[in-house]
Structure 1
Amino acid sequence: MAIPARAIHHLSETQVRCKPVVVIVGPTAAGKSRVAVEVAKAFETEVLTADSRQVYRGMDVGTDKPVPEERQGVAHRLIDLVNPDESFNAGLYRRQALDEIERLYRDCRLPLVVGGAGLYVRTLLQGLCEAPPADPILRAALRQEAKEQGLDHLYARLVAVDSAAAARLHPRDESKVIRALEVYQLSGRRMSEFQQEHGFAERPFSALIVGLNRDRDALYRRIEERIDWQLAHGLIEETKQLLAQGYQRDSSAMKGLGYRQVAEHLAGEYDAAEMVRRFKRDTRHFSKRQMTWFRKEPGIQWLTIEESESAQHTAELVIRQIERFLTTLEGRG
């Protein structure tokens, strides 16, 4: 199904004053990227990526960055921002994303944010709590503690000082567990207290949030097919190159899906078949955690993509939602 020709969709002055942002979210392998490219072409805009792993340079196959042919001439921003050994977080993402959004407003173009990083999207749309900034020395000490005594030990420490924050985190989510402990040690206050006070109540934008999902069996099949493709198209070689460049297995970037399992296989911890099994299992679990997060987020308008449905057809449904959204904003003037 071809997307019908339209007039150029530049924002009016009234719409710009309303600060519209369109966000496309959903679990990994749902098909967000292909749909986003079609939507971006229809509105002559760019894709602002919200992916906590695509920010790393040199990590392309394993993070499923769209190759130039897949981007179809559409600019993709907020990828390749830092090296794999550099720190990056939701606050830094928000700062750079706001700059990109303001640039698009100056050109009267619609910001289109696309990705599966729920925290990045929430932080962008609802602001940051006033917790103390990261302390590199303390953070390094906590990482070393996790390496020596295990992440379960750190998680147990967090449960003891901030059970509310711990209950919201996966016990294996090292970066968030460390951040919550860091906040407590720096301020003497619980991360959950900062979050409760903030309430994530800022609303700097008029946001339309569209969620894309698939039937669970279809989604899992797509996850497994994508992993097979990644392994056949250079993920093992990419991981070897990153390790050869000196990036450590215990860094946040190298603990990402795919890289972690391949690196453990290369270190002789298990054979290739077990590596593939773990990679697919862990990615399925990750997609479930993504959906658990997004289901708790208010205001998402969900579309279930059928297996026979083309990206162009799904994009057309999203485009119609956006047109209604922009018409409503125009009426506010």
Structure 2
Amino acid sequence: MNPDVVKPNVIVICGPTALGKTAVALELARVFNGEIIGADSMQIYRYMDIGTAKPTPYEQASIPHHMIDIVDPDESFSAMQYAKMAHEEIMKLHAQGITPFVVGGTGFYIKALVHGLFMARPVDTDIRMRLKEEAAVHGAVSLHKRLSKCDPDAAERIHPNDTYRIIRALEIYETTGKSISKYHSEHGFADRQLKVLKIGLHINRNLLYDRINRRVDAMIEAGLVDEVKGLLGMGYSENLKSMQSIGYRHMVDFIKGRLSWDETLRTLKRDTRRYAKRQMTWFRSDSEIVWREAEQLSDIRGLIKDFLGGA
């Protein structure tokens, strides 16, 4: 990037699920003439609103949102695509004098946007087909166990049911002899083109878990079961990457009679808590993040004011 070009100022609001990032970001965007760029790997999907805790139509109307509802549930979408599209949105906002707020809990999206992505090896179709066949016969959990031996860091990040990411990690390892974690580490995500303030939101763990439980209850009340039935009725397979995510796979198991209602709720709340823990592990490893409690709005406003004033 040309050093004479002014780098856009970007404010990242990140943290685990159910923390209230949207409410904080909406308030900050109003104060600092901002618009919101989503950084959530599930909110990119159309028709998946309740289970992804997507900002409501009212919230999206009050402050413009970007990078939400951009692909159908059966379309593939990578972190590299996200970084490219989100960067384009940031440049448009920058040209208009609008402050971009990147808001979400998908750490890999944020890292790809802020630091760039290494150029991954091309797909080896033979290896991928073999791994897909193994997953169909033995299940994703079997492949996940194999991944934990050759790339324990990736296995820690990737859910045992996330067939797509498990296969991709194994494919890179089998093709190159290097783990995907090693590729990320060697690259260093060094191609920074933005001036960024990262603010991480956190609360007491017990309070977070209580919020998670209440959010799940609210999603059920809002009609999550019917949302998933509608997706299945539209022809979207339960085996899609999008449908294997938290909330959706649980509702599918209930609808198909594989889980009782009580077990569905129990495992959904449990898996959401585990996901929040993984998110915090990811964000805690980023030394650039300034941590504040969600209720510390005055302090957060001060951080942003100093950041923008010193630009």
In the superposition, the TM-score normalised over structure 1's length comes to: 0.85
> What are the equivalent positions in structure 2 for 1:280-299 lying under 5 Å apart?
280-299=269-288
Shift in alpha-carbon separation, 1:186–1:34, aligned structure 2, 3 A: same
Match of 1:119 among 105, 108, 127: 108
Match of 1:323 among 283, 290, 305: 305
Equivalent position of 2:169 in the other structure: 180
Shift in alpha-carbon separation, 1:285–1:190, aligned structure 2, 3 A: closer
Deviation of residue 141 (structure 1)?
Answer: 5.1
Higher deviation after alignment, 163-172 or 263-272:
163-172
The 8 Å contact of residues 10 and 197 in structure 2, kept in 1 or not, is answered as: yes
For structure 2, the residue ranges without an aligned partner over 5 or more in a row are none
For structure 1, the residue ranges without an aligned partner over 5 or more in a row are 1-15
Shift in alpha-carbon separation, 1:193–1:27, aligned structure 2, 3 A: closer
> What are the equivalent positions in structure 2 for 1:49-60 lying under 5 Å apart?
49-60=38-49
Q: For the residues of structure 2 that align with 1:181 and 1:265, how far apart are their CA atoms?
A: 30
Deviation of residue 185 (structure 1)?
Answer: 4.1
Q: For the residues of structure 1 that align with 2:242 and 2:159, how far apart are their CA atoms?
A: 18
Q: For the residues of structure 2 that align with 1:271 and 1:315, how far apart are their CA atoms?
A: 42
Equivalent position of 1:102 in the other structure: 91
Q: For the residues of structure 2 that align with 1:39 and 1:135, how far apart are their CA atoms?
A: 45
Equivalent position of 1:66 in the other structure: 55
Equivalent position of 1:19 in the other structure: 8
Higher deviation after alignment, 141-150 or 39-48:
141-150
The 8 Å contact of residues 59 and 238 in structure 1, kept in 2 or not, is answered as: yes
Cα deviation per residue 1:204-229 (whole Å; 9 max; x = unaligned)?
A: 22110001111111111111111111
What amino acid maps onto 2:308 in structure 1?
Answer: L
Equivalent position of 2:254 in the other structure: 265
The 8 Å contact of residues 250 and 264 in structure 2, kept in 1 or not, is answered as: yes
Shift in alpha-carbon separation, 1:140–1:304, aligned structure 2, 3 A: farther
- Number of aligned residue pairs: give it: 307
Q: For the residues of structure 2 that align with 1:99 and 1:219, how far apart are their CA atoms?
A: 34
The 8 Å contact of residues 37 and 67 in structure 2, kept in 1 or not, is answered as: yes
Identity over aligned pairs, percent: 42
SS in 2 for 1:257: coil
Deviation of residue 167 (structure 1)?
Answer: 5.4
Equivalent position of 2:30 in the other structure: 41
Q: For the residues of structure 1 that align with 2:100 and 2:199, how far apart are their CA atoms?
A: 14
Q: For the residues of structure 1 that align with 2:301 and 2:26, how far apart are their CA atoms?
A: 12
Q: For the residues of structure 2 that align with 1:87 and 1:209, how far apart are their CA atoms?
A: 28
What amino acid maps onto 1:319 in structure 2?
Answer: R
Cα deviation per residue 1:234-255 (whole Å; 9 max; x = unaligned)?
A: 1000000101111111211001
> What are the equivalent positions in structure 2 for 1:189-268 lying under 5 Å apart?
189-268=178-257
Deviation of residue 262 (structure 1)?
Answer: 0.8
SS in 1 for 2:37: strand
Higher deviation after alignment, 149-158 or 277-286:
149-158
The 8 Å contact of residues 22 and 103 in structure 2, kept in 1 or not, is answered as: yes
The 8 Å contact of residues 39 and 102 in structure 2, kept in 1 or not, is answered as: yes
Cα deviation per residue 1:7-30 (whole Å; 9 max; x = unaligned)?
A: xxxxxxxxx813211000000011
Matched, 1:78 2:67: yes
Q: For the residues of structure 2 that align with 1:84 and 1:138, how far apart are their CA atoms?
A: 25
Q: For the residues of structure 1 that align with 2:58 and 2:184, how far apart are their CA atoms?
A: 41
Q: For the residues of structure 1 that align with 2:57 and 2:106, how far apart are their CA atoms?
A: 22
Deviation of residue 301 (structure 1)?
Answer: 0.6
SS in 1 for 2:71: coil
Shift in alpha-carbon separation, 1:128–1:246, aligned structure 2, 3 A: same
In the superposition, the TM-score normalised over structure 2's length comes to: 0.91
Shift in alpha-carbon separation, 1:202–1:265, aligned structure 2, 3 A: same
Q: For the residues of structure 2 that align with 1:170 and 1:124, how far apart are their CA atoms?
A: 20
Q: For the residues of structure 1 that align with 2:71 and 2:278, how far apart are their CA atoms?
A: 25
Q: For the residues of structure 1 that align with 2:156 and 2:28, how far apart are their CA atoms?
A: 34
